[in-house]
Amino acid sequence: MGSTRGEQQAQEAVKARWEHYAHGADIGVRGIGRSTAEAFEQAAVALAGVITDPSRVEAREEVMIKCEAPDPEVLLVDWLNALVYEMAVRRMILARFQVNIEGNQLHGRAWGEDTDVARHEPAVEVKGATYTDLFVGQNSSGAWVAQCVVDV
């Protein structure tokens, strides 16, 4: 189904961005964009933002990520958890992302660098992305939103 001209205009006006929101003991990550893929990219920046200020992270190394899930929401959790895993085993912080989604599959590229405690002052490590407050879809202004709570 194609979108109407009004929806297209609304989407063009969307500025890709990320934000955190409060959740009891932990923190919610939200990505907003013109497509699911862009919302996923921004949600990943929000994930990096839980650990440090993403602008402090240089894109020195690239990591490739593949995920597959039965629905877009589980795919978001898988994508974020894949990043949590890569950051943990590589001792890196990943803060720039490019995502392609085709059907149930996600191909992602992530850039970042080794954790540098003095420069990044990492606040907290993320234990995992959760199914709490999990949402992937369009908001009332037509922007794509990808969000969930992460456990820290």
Partner 1 sequence: MDTTLLSRLSDFEWRIEAHGKMRVPAILYASEELIRDMDNKVYEQIVNVATLPGIQKAAYAMPDAHWGYGFPIGGVAAFDPQEGGVVSAGGVGFDISCGVRTLLTGIKAAALTPLKQSLADALYHHIPAGVGSTGRLNLDDQQLDEMLLNGAQWALKLGYGREADLDRTEERGCMAGARSEAVSEFAKKRQRREMGTLGSGNHYLEVQHVVGIHDEAAARAFGLATDDIVVSIHCGSRGLGHQIGTDFLREMVLQAPHYGIDLPDRELACAPIESPLGETYLGAMRAAINCALANRQIITHLVRQAFADVIPEADLSVLYDVSHNTCKVEEHTVDGHLKRVFIHRKGATRAFGPGHPAIPEALRTIGQPVLIGGTMGTASYILVGMPESESRSFSSSCHGAGRQMSRHQATKHWRGRQLIDELAGRGIIIRSPSSRGVAEEAPGAYKDVTAVVEVAEKAGLSRRVARLEPLICIKG
> Minimum CB separation from partner 1 for residue 17, in Å?
16
DSSP-assigned beta bridge partners for residue 63: 110
> Minimum CB separation from partner 1 for residue 113, in Å?
11
DSSP-assigned beta bridge partners for residue 92: 114
* 149, two tokens: 């709570």
| Neighbouring residues of 1: CB distance < 8 A, sequence distance ≥ 6 | none
46 part of the interface to partner 1, by CB under 8 A = no
CB nearer partner 1, residue 14 or residue 50: 50
Residue selected from 60, 104, 125, 137 as contacting partner 1 according to rule CB under 8 A: 125
20 part of the interface to partner 1, by CB under 8 A = yes
Question: Angle at CA 44, nearest 5°, toward 42 and 50?
Answer: 110
3 state DSSP class of 34: coil
Q: Strand pairing of 26-33 and 17-23?
A: antiparallel
Contact 30, 18 (CB under 8 A): yes
> Minimum CB separation from partner 1 for residue 88, in Å?
5
| Selected range binding partner 1 among 3-11, 25-33, 58-66, 102-110, rule: CB under 8 A | 25-33
Question: Inter-axis angle of helices 72-90 and 36-51, to 10 degrees?
Answer: 40
Residues 80-99 that bind partner 1 (CB under 8 A): 81, 84-85, 88-89, 91
128 part of the interface to partner 1, by CB under 8 A = yes
* 127, two tokens: 């234990």
135 part of the interface to partner 1, by CB under 8 A = no
> Minimum CB separation from partner 1 for residue 5, in Å?
36
Binding site for partner 1 (CB under 8 A): 20-27, 51, 70, 74, 77-78, 81, 84-85, 88-89, 91, 114-115, 117, 121-125, 127-132, 134, 149, 151-152
